[in-house]
Every structure is written in structure tokens, then in C-alpha cells.
Amino acid sequence: QKEVEQDPGPLSVPEGAIVSLNCTYSNSAFQYFMWYRQYSRKGPELLMYTYSSGNKEDGRFTAQVDKSSKYISLFIRDSQPSDSATYLCAMSEQAGTALIFGKGTTLSVSS
């Protein structure tokens, strides 16, 4: 079993839809959880960062972490065509250590 599981999609939604992206993981020692957005042939860009369990909101983006279920989510409200990209979840046990990434979910938002 891989440490981090993420459905690669692709996921296609109309503009304005609410998007839900998810990852599950097996390592209970993970404490730091991130969501990155990656456009084709570009490096990942940090979207959301969460420490331990809980919710975090930033504009149209909400990140949720449920450590008891080993499950994290990213919600995108009022999705826009510019949100079309690959979304990667990533996590680590300690700050300052390498990240373990999910495979990424490809999202397409149509206008």
C-alpha cells in the first residue's frame, strides 16, 4: 500500500461548481499537510498548508484534515477555468523534511 493515495481523475466540472479533492494516507505520524497546484510542465505552487487536524480557509479554497480517518480534502468554491490544473496533496512527519506526494488529481473547469 502506498503511503499517500490520491485519485488521479481526470475530474471535469462546469464553471462555478464546487470541487472536492481528497487524499488518504497510511502513516499516522504525518502532521503537516499541504495542497499544491501544478500546471503542465511547471513546478508545484503551494495553495494550502495545515498542521495537524482541522480546517483552514483561504478565499475560495478550504482545506480539511481528519487525522482520525487519515483523510484530507481540498474544496474549491466557485471554480474558474483558471483553476484547471493538477492538484497534489503532500504531507510530512516533521517540519523541514521531505514531502510525500500523492499522484495528483487533474482538474478541468469548463466555461
Partner 1 sequence: GAVVSQHPSWVICKSGTSVKIECRSLDFQATTMFWYRQFPKQSLMLMATSNEGSKATYEQGVEKDKFLINHASLTLSTLTVTSAHPEDSSFYICSALTSGRADEQFFGPGTRLTVL
Candidates 21, 76, 88, 107: give the one binding partner 1 (CB under 8 A): 88
**66: number of CA atoms within 13 Å, CB side?**
9
Q: At closest approach, how far in Å is the CB of 42 from partner 1? A: 6
49 binds partner 1 (CB under 8 A): yes
Place of cell 481523475: 9
Residue 61 pairs in a beta bridge with: 58, 76
Residue 104 near residue 38 (C-beta atoms within 8 A): yes
Binding flag, residue 41, partner 1 (CB under 8 A): yes
Of 25, 32, 35, 87, which one interacts with partner 1 (CB under 8 A)? 32
54 forms part of the interface with partner 1 (CB under 8 A)? no
Distance, CA of 75 to CA of 22 (rounded, Å): 9
Q: How far apart are CA 64 and CA 29, in angstroms?
A: 17
Minimum distance from residue 30 beta carbon to partner 1 (Å): 13
Place of cell 499516522: 28
Residue ranges binding partner 1 (CB under 8 A): 4, 6, 8, 32, 36, 41-46, 49, 51, 88, 90, 95-96, 98-104
